[in-house]
Homo-oligomer: A and B are copies of this chain.
Amino acid sequence: MSSVTIAEAPPTRMKSEVRRELILAAAAAVFGERGYVGATTDAVAKAAAVSQPYVVRMFGTKAALFQAVLERSLDKLIAEFRVEIAGHVPTDDELPMCIGRRYVSLLADRGLLLSLMQAFMLGADPEIGPTARAGFLRVYRLLRDEAGFTPEQATEFLSGGMMINTLVGLRMGAEFDTDPEVREMLTAAMPTKAALLRDLARQ
């Protein structure tokens, strides 16, 4: 297992808000890779190049850290979508594809989409479940109310997104070059950006 690294060594003293962002980015990568339960605060700390107690103290608990990661991920996703929506007239039927490209571009932010997806799989958890459902619905409403999608369009868009999340979660891109069926499937799922998954898998 490639242990995640986000921040590098020199233990510089910095403002807590800067450190907080570093830890959140590291945590997204770790939670995305190992899931909420499988991720350890120690792995997050190592990825952010700080000590484990510091991670815990800054966020209180591991659960609170995960919630903060989810909030950050969702805020970034929604901000990205709004940029695209603002650049189109309401009825532009190119919009779904353009927002789709924005979605795929978020894959470059390690763990951002996967942390959300990990949360979606924990809907039975009494703490995470409500947050996850509310977050998913926030995206649905954005597509319907701000992007002007019909319920069917929004659902189709989200289906493609969940498929991409799954393929990334599977690390299917790692087999892009060696397995022709993988290449075929990824190309069908992400017509213009399939090679991106291969490159992400190499990180």
Contact = CB atoms under 8 A, between A and B. Distances in A.
Q: Which 4 residue pairs spanning A and B have beta carbons closest together? A: A123-B171, A159-B163, A37-B38, A123-B170
Given A35-B37, A155-B189, A188-B152, A169 B136 contact: no
A130 to B, nearest CB: 10
A154 interface: yes
A126 B38 contact: no
A133 B188 contact: no
Interface string A42-53: 000000000000
Interface in A154-175: 154-155, 158-160, 162-163, 165-166, 168-172, 175
A155 B125 CA distance: 30
* Interface core residue of A117, A132, A159 (most chain B CB under 10 Å): A159
Contact of A133 (B123, B151, B175): B175
Interface residue tally of chain A, by bracket? Answer: 35 or more
B37 A122 contact: no
Contacts of A14: none
Which among A37, A160, A162 has the greatest number of chain B C-beta atoms within 10 A?
A162
Interface stretch (A72-80, A100-108, A178-186): A178-186
B124 A121 contact: no
A155 B123 contact: no
Nearest to A160: B159
A187 B140 CA distance: 13
Contacts of A171: 123-124, 129, 133
Contact of A172 (B136, B159, B163): B136
